[in-house]
Chain A
Amino acid sequence: MGNRTAIYDAHVEQGARIVDFGGWDMPLHYGSQIEEHHTVRTDAGMFDVSHMTVVDVQGADATAFLHRLIANNVDKLKTPGKALYTCMLNEDGGVIDDLIVYFLSKTEFRMVVNAATREKDLAWLEGQAAVFDVQVSERPDLAMIAVQGPNARDKAAACLAEEDRETALSLGPFVAAPIKDLFVARTGYTGEDGWEIIVPESQADNLWRAFADAGIRPCGLGARDTLRLEAGMNLYGSDMDESTTPLESGLGWTVAWEPEDRRFTGRDRLEAQRREGVPRRLVGLLLEDRGVLRSHQKVIVDGVGEGEVTSGTFSPTLGRSIGLARVPAGAGDKVTVEIRGRRLMARVVRPPFVRHGKAKV
């Protein structure tokens, strides 16, 4: 038996097929992964993401600590609650993890990091924090529910206390606010509108059931993966890891180069790559032939070299296979992918594949 979230019993009652995910017993789907996927694109679905790791950073040096720790710059965050997506790099510019950091005040931030990387992240944070006046505290007492889809905010708001609804519904994109015991953020991992709600463990099961009663469909990790891939969002451990830099992972946009004297960890390597040319890049692939892209399939770029599919799936929205692949820098817009001994044609595209329910490729 793995770790179980506070909502586990509800998943089982709702018919979930449970699988092991990084040591957690999590729902893969509740019957049909594809129907769950379409529900998020067209209506409202919810995900138990309580396995993710919430970390609070507090102290006089909190801002200085984050200036060093992450490749994006928290100085972009001017208003309380504003969120930033970023990578946390090692000395060699490799990605230790990707995370979201919420600005609460100059001395107070909240981060959400991945579940599978929890231990190494916490060890790294502790090591990096040693020379700063800052407290890094994991919050295992908190659960998290993501409600996603064009109708998700309206349906979820109806489950909040009446006086809290307006506050929640007025949150702008990528902004969060504490609302009583909840921390409601207008963020997500699907390419649709919605909230990620951090909730005390003791209240998580009730909130999940209230959302279900309000017509928000429980969705599993399977749909979460096809949705994020359609949205062109990376998955840590598949699309990037410590052997790749953000520049080789389609995440150059998350690196804040200015001001030049902000020497975040890994910066030297990124600057060298930028100077000398980034050897590989992460691109979107749209399979032209019939078949399904899967991670680790070989990508052949004629006359240039080879690469690899890092994530691949069947896109329920597009009705064909899509993927992300790391290819040599000189790749053009046509490549072939080796699938079960055959070479199939794929077109190189710029993600996202789908955004707000609409095909973008």
Chain B
Amino acid sequence: MSNVPGDLKYTKSHEWVRSEDDGSVTVGITDHAQSALGDLVFVEPPEAGSEVSSGDACAVVESVKAASDVYSPVSGKVAAGNDALADSPELVNQDPYGDGWIMRVEADDPAELETLMDAATYEATLED
């Protein structure tokens, strides 16, 4: 069974979002997503300072088998991409909610987070 932490928000496209104390949000892909992709071999996070829009492709994760887009759950300015993933893409497999984070964003509108799914709703989508 996939791990779906209760304190995060989720998208239909299997990203997770965590609100940080400084008002920014951290974004990654879920345990379900990394498991479905298999061993990741290449991750291209967005560059700090770039603008992202909710629903738009903002990063690329490639497994041995295929490339997939990561869609930004929120609009805003990228505060940081996870540069550690350049050398260690497997962090996404090993620790999708921790060291395998993809980017940190200063969201334009914090209320946008309220439109995302909570853990129970996301978990229900995985059972379909």
Residues of chain A touching chain B, judged by Cβ–Cβ distance below 8 Å, are 17, 28-29, 32-34, 222, 226, 290-292, 294, 313-314, 316, 321, 340
Contacts and interface: CB of A to CB of B under 8 A. Distances in A.
Interface in B44-91: 44, 60, 62, 64-67, 86
B38 A292 contact: no
Nearest to A19: B65
Interface residues of B, number: 12
B122 interface: no
B41 interface: yes
A32 B93 CA distance: 10
Contact of B64 (A17, A226, A291, A340): A226
Interface of B: 38-39, 41-42, 44, 60, 62, 64-67, 86
Given A29-B38, A34-B39, A340-B60, A222 B65 contact: yes
A297 to B, nearest CB: 10
Nearest to B69: A340
Contact of A32 (B39, B44, B62, B86): B39
A314 B64 CA distance: 6
Contacts of A28: 38, 65
A314 B38 contact: no
The DSSP consensus for interface residues of chain A is mixed
Contacts of B64: 33-34, 222, 226, 313-314, 316
7 residue pairs, one from A and one from B, having the closest CB atoms: A314-B41, A34-B39, A292-B62, A292-B42, A33-B64, A33-B39, A314-B64
Contacts of B38: 17, 28-29, 32-33, 222
A314 B62 contact: yes
A34 B37 CA distance: 13
A290 B86 contact: yes
Contacts of B67: 292, 294, 340
Nearest to A29: B38
B115 to A, nearest CB: 28
17 contacts: A32-B38, A33-B38, A33-B39, A34-B39, A34-B64, A222-B64, A290-B42, A290-B44, A291-B62, A292-B42, A292-B62, A294-B66, A313-B64, A314-B41, A314-B62, A316-B64, A321-B42
